Chains A and B, each alone.
Chain A
Amino acid sequence: MHSIAFTVNGKPASIAADPDTPLLDVLRNHLGLIGTKFGCGLEQCGTCMVLIDGEPVKSCGKAVSTVAGKTVLTIEGLGTPERPHPLQQAFLDEQAGQCGYCLPGILVTAKALLDRNPAPSRREIALALDDNICRCGSHHRILRAVEKAAARLRQGASR
């Protein structure tokens, strides 16, 4: 067991765990952050996506020791029902989801995209989300919601 310290959703976290423990297990089982989902454990589907220092990373294959001293953002840190992130509000407005299991991973991936590219084309959004699988077929609404959130964020920034 090692003690590993990092920042999660703006708060310091210190974990006593085997350094090889997947970050996903630490988030869900040690920290109770169950918003991030297990999908495959093979870094193929994106349901476990979180941002590490702003970059989207599949947390199922990421040993917790590698995030020591780094900043992790999960879906719980994106916004709350009282203060939703524009992406979350846009997903609700567009009813962009069916089962919703893929949405936490998709939302943080979309946040990373909009942070680096505030005005992405539909094609750029789709390519950014190609590492995230949606099996129910909500793609069309999800793309629309990300476009809508981007527009709102741009309006907010220009005010």
Chain B
Amino acid sequence: MSASAAPQLPGMLRDNPRLDQWVRFDTQGRVTVSTGRVEIGQGVLTAMRQIAAEELDISPDRILLQTGDTELTPNEGYTAGSQSIQFGGVALRQACAEVRLLFLDRAAAQLGHQRDALSVENGAILHKGQSTGQDYWSLAASVDLQREATGGAPIKQASQHRVVGQNLPRTDLADKVFGGPAFLHDVALDGMLHARVVRQPCRGATIRAIDEAAIRRAARGPIEIVRDGNFVAILGPDETFVEAAAAVAPGHVAWDNVEALNPMSEEGRWLLQQPSIDKTHGAPPTDPAPAGRAYEATYTRMHIAHASIGPSCGLALYKDGHLQVWTHCQGVYPLRAALARTLKLDPAAISVKHVQGPGCYGHNGADDAAADAAVIALRRPGQPIRVRWRREEEFGFEPVSPAMVVTARAALDGAGKPADWTTEIWSGRHTNRPGGGGNLLAAEALPDPPPPPPAVEGPPPPGAGTRNGEPLYAFPAKRIVHHLIAETPVRTSSLRGLGATLNVYAIESSMDELAERAGQDPVAYRLSVLADPRARKVVEHVAQMAGWRAGLPAGTGKGRGIGFAQYKNMAAYAAVIAEVEVVHAVQMLRIWCSADAGLVINPDGAINQLEGGIVQGISWALKEGVRLDESGISSRDWEGYPVLRFSEVPEIAVELVDPAVDRPPLGVGEASGGPTVAAIGNAVAHALGARIRDLPMTRERVMAALLRS
């Protein structure tokens, strides 16, 4: 006889099993719900509110939501990887279901009713639909939530949902539309000093001389200059004076130990000559395909910037031996750990709280700005310090998404379908977050800097540089060969999609070329090698949305293309069709997108995320690439780093497939980017009759492709 195994707790509930970490009834008429996930522009707080309201049977507006605070909320690591709903939301859902059941058990015992005859209606306990006079708050004192979840409470079926699946409006949008204090940048504490940092031009650079008098003259008002090792900050009560000093300061600090970069390293192909850490995933190595049955093509892209609309900001106060930090980073607990190591403080002496910031698409400068503020705050006890990066600093020093090269290689069977597939990837690191204590700019500038964090990436799925390197198509043998380049010209880390963007571009471009070689329509060819029914459905659905027709002639100047992927091979499925016109440059005409994200909490929110990924995808495909010169990133403003503007955005139609079916939710935030870039590439190839393999597809590259064709 063996005891039946306890049900496994879902998602982040495994790491944070105590129910009162998630739900409490400490305010009359309200329920306090905690999530470790944070709002980074993706609408997650509204979705979390819906999930809790649904399982607790309470109106969403009675929920007090706590988010991203080391003093108050569960530790869910980072809000990243399109995992908030898929792993955090399902944890909250289970916790709420268990809490509701505990209250029903308590009410049943107290009232002498069968539990099955009881229900909850907006927090009130009903018996056979009639009031019992009891509610969550009257019973709260007698229900102990300081206990671990069991995984035993049933969650609602999709057919029972009343709040989940509704388009609840974003709870944070009104402040933003009416100009209220919505962002960390808007928080001003009494006695606060504004601060700017003079950045080291590169890791290891040391200060030879500072002309402090020149910096003070430029301020035109009182400022202080703080220096420790190679960390230099300018602070003062008047932001205008501080900013004026910071604007000229880089020109008044002379540095030693500055290594000149090779500007050629801005293009992906530079990676092919670099030492790398090599790993193979998937099928064992194979012999080269026989001539006539071999396919090979190589695709590249440049480094990509997060280029958030607002520069990074950090706020810190060191008082009575405790450091309080306010940040818009993605992980308050990992940042606390990194700050503790950098500042040599006990983590218990540090609190980190999330406050919303400008749009975040991955590991940007937010952690660094928080560390800047913390380093200064320790040297000015009792005074709140707000650091706001300059635009030039944001573009010049945030971690960027690495340049990449991807070679797709296939051995074809007699029908022109891949029997053996290899995706070979060269890339800098896509994961480089500061949790372990390294990789905070301020830490590198202080005396005794930590060593650079080692270059390590987990295997796919989900992978990082290897993400989506395995095609979802049913090829008999598939492998990924990964060359991780540890030393890159500039600091790199996670940006929406990670390696998936170029991997999907390479795979989907190759699929179109193989379809053409087999004399087949791109949609029909994909369907002929796509076994997963959900994948098939999104491809078929988007073809239907766009009125896809096979056999339209190529090289007419107008074209259509399709791109498909399941993000990380484990999150949402998305298929995109792009329609373009190419004269001298690529002009977007229309985009259609179909996505299967499993059970969708807030359909309009999911569509908003998919639309955002499409617009960013267009921008990546056509415009974006970080420029380098000898001294580092040279594209330090919006003219040097152009992104898509309003008049360049096409009509976009997005539809969800089966959003209200009882299936696990699948992360949607990063699903549409790769397929969009791929669809545009295929549409451009169709329009031109020639393929552009290097991103972005600028006017110069269009002209070069036309000359080749």
For residue B643, which residues in chain A have a CB less than 8 angstroms away from its CB?
133, 135
> Is A139 at the interface (CB under 8 A from chain B)?
yes
Give the segment of B38-46, B55-63, B94-102, B537-545 that binds chain A: B38-46
> Is A95 at the interface (CB under 8 A from chain B)?
yes
- A74 lies within 8 A of B179 (CB): yes
For residue A18, which residues in chain B have a CB less than 8 angstroms away from its CB?
220-221, 240
Residues 91-103 of chain A, each 1 if its beta carbon lies under 8 Å from chain B, else 0: 1100101111111
- A132 lies within 8 A of B604 (CB): no
Q: Given the interface contacts A137-B611, A140-B652, A143-B646, does A44 sit within 8 Å of B638 by beta carbon?
A: yes
> Is A72 at the interface (CB under 8 A from chain B)?
no
> Is B2 at the interface (CB under 8 A from chain A)?
no
> Is A39 at the interface (CB under 8 A from chain B)?
yes
CA distance A120 to B638 in the complex (A): 27
CA distance A40 to B177 in the complex (A): 20
For residue A25, which residues in chain B have a CB less than 8 angstroms away from its CB?
239-240, 243
Q: Given the interface contacts A36-B179, A40-B638, A137-B616, does A100 sit within 8 Å of B645 by beta carbon?
A: no
Max chain A Cβ within 10 angstroms of own Cβ: one of B188, B309, B310: B309
CA distance A75 to B307 in the complex (A): 24
- A126 lies within 8 A of B652 (CB): no
CA distance A80 to B179 in the complex (A): 9
For residue B308, which residues in chain A have a CB less than 8 angstroms away from its CB?
101, 135
> Is A5 at the interface (CB under 8 A from chain B)?
no
- A139 lies within 8 A of B176 (CB): no
CA distance A28 to B179 in the complex (A): 11
Query: Which chain B residues (145-174) contact chain A, with CB distance < 8 Å?
Result: 167, 169-170, 172-174
Give the shortest distance, in Å, between B395 (CB) and chain A (any CB): 9
Q: How many A-B residue pairs have CB under 8 A?
A: 174
- A134 lies within 8 A of B309 (CB): yes
> Is B359 at the interface (CB under 8 A from chain A)?
yes
Residue of B nearest to A26 (CB): B240
- A35 lies within 8 A of B639 (CB): no
Give the shortest distance, in Å, between A149 (CB) and chain B (any CB): 12
Query: Which chain A residues (44-95) contact chain B, with CB distance < 8 Å?
Result: 44-45, 47, 74-76, 78-81, 84, 88, 91-92, 95
Give the shortest distance, in Å, between B356 (CB) and chain A (any CB): 8
> Is B479 at the interface (CB under 8 A from chain A)?
no
> Is B191 at the interface (CB under 8 A from chain A)?
no
> Is B535 at the interface (CB under 8 A from chain A)?
no
Contact residues of A: prevailing secondary structure = loop
CA distance A107 to B181 in the complex (A): 16
For residue A81, which residues in chain B have a CB less than 8 angstroms away from its CB?
174, 178
Residues 637-655 of chain B, each 1 if its beta carbon lies under 8 Å from chain A, else 0: 1110001111101011000
CA distance A38 to B360 in the complex (A): 16
CA distance A47 to B638 in the complex (A): 13
- A38 lies within 8 A of B309 (CB): no
- A80 lies within 8 A of B178 (CB): yes
Query: Which chain A residues (117-156) contact chain B, with CB distance < 8 Å?
Result: 123, 125-127, 129-130, 132-143
CA distance A148 to B97 in the complex (A): 40
- A101 lies within 8 A of B170 (CB): no
Residues 14-45 of chain A, each 1 if its beta carbon lies under 8 Å from chain B, else 0: 00011001100100010001111111111011
For residue B614, which residues in chain A have a CB less than 8 angstroms away from its CB?
137
> Is B106 at the interface (CB under 8 A from chain A)?
no
- A135 lies within 8 A of B309 (CB): yes
Query: Which chain B residues (427-445) contact chain A, with CB distance < 8 Å?
Result: none
- A45 lies within 8 A of B178 (CB): no
- B309 lies within 8 A of A98 (CB): no
- A97 lies within 8 A of B309 (CB): no
- B612 lies within 8 A of A138 (CB): yes
- B359 lies within 8 A of A101 (CB): yes
Q: Given the interface contacts A91-B177, A92-B169, A101-B183, does A140 sit within 8 Å of B391 by beta carbon?
A: no
> Is B615 at the interface (CB under 8 A from chain A)?
yes
For residue B637, which residues in chain A have a CB less than 8 angstroms away from its CB?
40, 42, 44
For residue B176, which residues in chain A have a CB less than 8 angstroms away from its CB?
97, 99-101, 103-104
> Is B186 at the interface (CB under 8 A from chain A)?
yes
CA distance A117 to B649 in the complex (A): 22
- B647 lies within 8 A of A39 (CB): no
CA distance A51 to B182 in the complex (A): 21
CA distance A137 to B608 in the complex (A): 9
Give the shortest distance, in Å, between B633 (CB) and chain A (any CB): 15
Residue of A nearest to B239 (CB): A29
For residue A17, which residues in chain B have a CB less than 8 angstroms away from its CB?
240
For residue A141, which residues in chain B have a CB less than 8 angstroms away from its CB?
608, 611
- A98 lies within 8 A of B240 (CB): no
- A140 lies within 8 A of B615 (CB): yes
Residue of B nearest to A129 (CB): B646
- B391 lies within 8 A of A41 (CB): yes
- B645 lies within 8 A of A92 (CB): no
CA distance A41 to B388 in the complex (A): 12
> Is B499 at the interface (CB under 8 A from chain A)?
no
- A39 lies within 8 A of B391 (CB): yes
CA distance A38 to B310 in the complex (A): 7
Residues 371-402 of chain B, each 1 if its beta carbon lies under 8 Å from chain A, else 0: 00000000000000000101100000000000
> Is B449 at the interface (CB under 8 A from chain A)?
no
- A84 lies within 8 A of B178 (CB): yes
For residue A21, which residues in chain B have a CB less than 8 angstroms away from its CB?
240
For residue A92, which residues in chain B have a CB less than 8 angstroms away from its CB?
169, 173-174, 177
Partner of B647, one of A42, A80, A126: A126
- B177 lies within 8 A of A100 (CB): yes
- A33 lies within 8 A of B360 (CB): no
Give the shortest distance, in Å, between A20 (CB) and chain B (any CB): 8
For residue B611, which residues in chain A have a CB less than 8 angstroms away from its CB?
137-138, 140-141
Give the shortest distance, in Å, between A13 (CB) and chain B (any CB): 16
- B647 lies within 8 A of A135 (CB): no
Give the shortest distance, in Å, between B127 (CB) and chain A (any CB): 39
CA distance A48 to B605 in the complex (A): 27
Residue of A nearest to B394 (CB): A40
> Is B185 at the interface (CB under 8 A from chain A)?
yes
- A137 lies within 8 A of B615 (CB): yes
- B649 lies within 8 A of A95 (CB): no
- A47 lies within 8 A of B310 (CB): yes
Q: Given the interface contacts A21-B240, A44-B639, does A103 sit within 8 Å of B169 by beta carbon?
A: no
- A136 lies within 8 A of B179 (CB): no
Residue of A nearest to B604 (CB): A95
- B612 lies within 8 A of A137 (CB): yes
- A138 lies within 8 A of B179 (CB): no
For residue B178, which residues in chain A have a CB less than 8 angstroms away from its CB?
35, 75-76, 79-81, 84, 88
- A135 lies within 8 A of B608 (CB): no
- B647 lies within 8 A of A101 (CB): no
- B310 lies within 8 A of A100 (CB): no
A→B interface (CB under 8 Å) = 17-18, 21-22, 25, 29, 33-42, 44-45, 47, 74-76, 78-81, 84, 88, 91-92, 95, 97-104, 107, 123, 125-127, 129-130, 132-143
B→A interface (CB under 8 Å) = 40-43, 167, 169-170, 172-183, 185-186, 188, 220-221, 238-240, 243, 307-311, 356-360, 388, 390-391, 604-605, 608-609, 611-616, 637-639, 643-647, 649, 651-652
Q: Can you list 12 A-B contacts (CB < 8 A)?
A: A17-B240, A25-B240, A80-B178, A95-B605, A99-B358, A100-B172, A100-B173, A100-B176, A101-B357, A103-B176, A103-B177, A142-B646
